Amino acid sequence: MRIACIVLIAAGRFAAAQSSVDSQLAAEIAKIKAIDNHAHPVRPALGSDKDNDYDALRVESMEPYTEPVRTREGTPLVLDAWRALFGYRYTDRAPDHVRELRDRKKQLLEEKRDGYANWVLDQLGIETMLANRVAMGPGLAAPRFLWVPFEDALMYPLSNATLAARNSDRKAFYADEERLLQRYLKESGVKEPPATLDLYLQKVVTPTLERHKRAGAIAVKFEAAYLRSLSFEDVPRAEAVRIYSGAHALPATEAAYTKLQDFIFRYIAEECGRLGMAVHIHAAAGAGGYFHIAGANPLLLEPLFNDPKLRKTNFVMLHGGWPFTREVAALLAKPNVYADFSEQTFMNYPRAVAQVIREWLEYAPEKVLFATDAYPFSDEMSWEEAGWVATTTGREALGLALTEMMRDGEITRDRALELAGMVLRDNARKLYQLK
């Protein structure tokens, strides 16, 4: 019911687009309790207890860049989210109005404490959120929140000085990865990366993945596109062994280090197949003025998807490859490859997202997943607001895509309803074998 109200409020701002969504379909879509394939919820923290585990590479450390219009400071979407989530009564951001909102949020946090994040999910019509975080903690508990840890750090056991020197964003990102590797080394009971690659895989990489699995992880996440290209070559083990050991005497060249990373990445992907964890890959343009968009083209992942050794591993292209969304449609033909449309749903307008969803649904509807990428971007757009924008836009875009397919005689109304359920929850339920 609550969600129906949210959608009605949203309809105000998206009036033109909303008017062409079939009303029965819109009502059904609003009712479906979703599984959110990818998000960064923040632990409800009171007082000085601050949560920094919502991302391994936090975007606050980046140089300023030209942000997409919809997520810029001052976007009217934030006001819509405040109205829907926190009963905000104003159409402006006057300081005393914003102060009232802050007090309301604080009051809700104090009232609900560890139940706050669950309450947010209820407002968003989300039953289960895959929480892509460094660690979980009080207030983000299964079954509502399921863990997706980061594994990039394991790919960088050698000196990262040359890679970090490329620009200030990379410098901050590699420092973050080095800190996380230190954490994984410590948790694995070693002080530094062991002398040989075999020992490193045996004593650090596999135990870290197994630890994550034991702690409830259903998938692992790579933010590799922020650090390097998504082209992961199939490097012979002997060559990787040589590069790893050789680096004790002389730092590896960038080309050699890339090969070592490629080998470790594929090793992790294969291990994830064995352990039954899906591999999530950021495959889309990303934040920042130095982000290498061409290096994030999902077509670069094709050799990986085509490797028979990795057919037991399920891969999910997060953010659906934007702007390479048509390439993503073609890649969905691989039996173990999926995509979600997160990030697009707060960066882009519903009609643009609808076109993408339609193209995928016309090709491989079992592989399409709903996701928000709810993220604490700023004080005014935290994960609650970003989640609201993404879920509202996502449901509307899905409604538009299905309505158009129905009107063009491609599918019946019953099939449209079935597809809505598949995208919003059933595809994810099957992929992660959720009850």
Residues of this chain, 210-269, that bind Zn ion according to CB under 5 A: none
Q: For the CB of residue 327, give the shortest distance to Zn ion in the complex, in Å.
A: 20
Residue with smaller CB distance to Zn ion, 151 or 373: 373
Q: Report which of 142, 120, 128, 136 is spatially closest to residue 54, judged by C-alpha positions.
A: 136
- Residue 402 in contact with residue 25, Cβ under 8 Å? yes
Residue with smaller CB distance to Zn ion, 177 or 373: 373
Residues of this chain, 128-167, that bind Zn ion according to CB under 5 A: none
What is the torsional sign of CA 353, 356, 361, 367?
negative
Binds Zn ion by CB under 5 A, chosen from 80, 151, 262, 373: 373
How many beta carbons lie within 10 A of that of residue 132, not counting itself?
28
Q: Which stretch binds Zn ion (CB under 5 A): 146-154, 237-245, 308-316, 372-380?
A: 372-380
Closest residue to Zn ion, based on beta-carbon distance: 373
Q: Which stretch binds Zn ion (CB under 5 A): 17-25, 185-193, 308-316, 367-375?
A: 367-375
Helix and strand numbers (H, E) in the chain are: 19, 8
Q: For the CB of residue 223, give the shortest distance to Zn ion in the complex, in Å.
A: 8
Q: For the CB of residue 373, give the shortest distance to Zn ion in the complex, in Å.
A: 4
Six token digits for residue 79: 């006001």
Six token digits for residue 387: 């989640």
Q: In degrees rounded to 5, what are phi and psi of residue 62?
A: -85, 155
Q: For the CB of residue 397, give the shortest distance to Zn ion in the complex, in Å.
A: 18
Q: Which stretch binds Zn ion (CB under 5 A): 202-210, 322-330, 369-377, 411-419?
A: 369-377
- Residue 316 in contact with residue 340, Cβ under 8 Å? yes
Q: For the CB of residue 374, give the shortest distance to Zn ion in the complex, in Å.
A: 9
Q: Tell me how many degrees the CA angle 290-328-377 measures, rounded to the nearest 5.
A: 40
Helix (H) or strand (E) holding 278: strand 278-282
Q: Name 220's bridge partners.
A: 279
Q: For the CB of residue 165, give the shortest distance to Zn ion in the complex, in Å.
A: 26
Residue with smaller CB distance to Zn ion, 22 or 373: 373
Tell me, by CB under 5 A, how many residues bind Zn ion.
1
DSSP label of 423 = I
Q: Which stretch binds Zn ion (CB under 5 A): 6-14, 107-115, 306-314, 370-378?
A: 370-378
Binding stretches for Zn ion (CB under 5 A): 373
